[in-house]
C-alpha cells in the first residue's frame, strides 16, 4: 500500500505540492505508529501460527516413531530396544534438537 504522501505526490502537479504537504504530512505521521503496530502484530500472529503448525507436525512424527519402535521391539522380542512407556520420564525429540 502506497503512503498517502506518495499518492498525493503522483496525483498532484509539482507546484501544488507545497500547499498540500502541511495537510498530508501530519496525518501520515500520526497514522504511522498505529499502522506499524498493526503490521508487527500481524507478522507475529503469522509466525506463531507457522511455529505451532511445525510443533504439531513434529509431535505427530515423534508419536508415530515411538509407536513404530514399540511395535518393532515387541515383534522382535527385544525389550531393551523398546522405548519408554507412555507417562515415563524421557527427553522429547524437540528438546534434543
Taking the model in full, what pTM does it have? Answer: 0.47
Note the pLDDT tens digit of each residue in 38-85: 999 999 999 999 999 999 999 999 999 999 999 988 888 765 655 555
* Burial of 21 per CB tally in 10 Å (0-12, 13-18, 19+): middle
Question: Which of 90, 20, 82 has its CA nearest to residue 4?
Answer: 20
Residue 8 pLDDT > 90: no
- The CA-based angle 69-82-70, given to 5 degrees, is 35
Give the span between the Cα atoms of 62 and 57, in whole angstroms. Answer: 9
The confidence score (pLDDT) of residue 78 equals 66
The average confidence (pLDDT) of the chain is: 75
Amino acid at each position: 500500500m502506497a503512503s498517502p504522501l506518495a499518492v498525493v505526490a503522483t496525483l498532484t502537479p509539482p507546484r501544488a505540492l507545497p500547499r498540500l504537504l502541511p495537510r498530508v504530512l501530519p496525518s501520515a505521521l500520526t497514522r504511522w505508529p498505529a499502522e506499524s503496530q498493526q503490521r508487527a502484530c500481524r507478522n507475529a500472529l503469522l509466525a506463531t501460527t507457522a511455529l505451532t503448525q511445525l510443533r504439531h507436525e513434529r509431535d505427530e512424527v515423534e508419536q508415530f516413531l515411538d509407536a513404530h519402535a514399540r511395535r518393532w521391539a515387541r515383534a522382535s522380542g527385544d525389550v531393551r530396544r523398546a522405548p519408554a512407556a507412555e507417562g515415563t520420564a524421557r527427553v522429547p525429540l524437540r528438546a534434543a534438537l
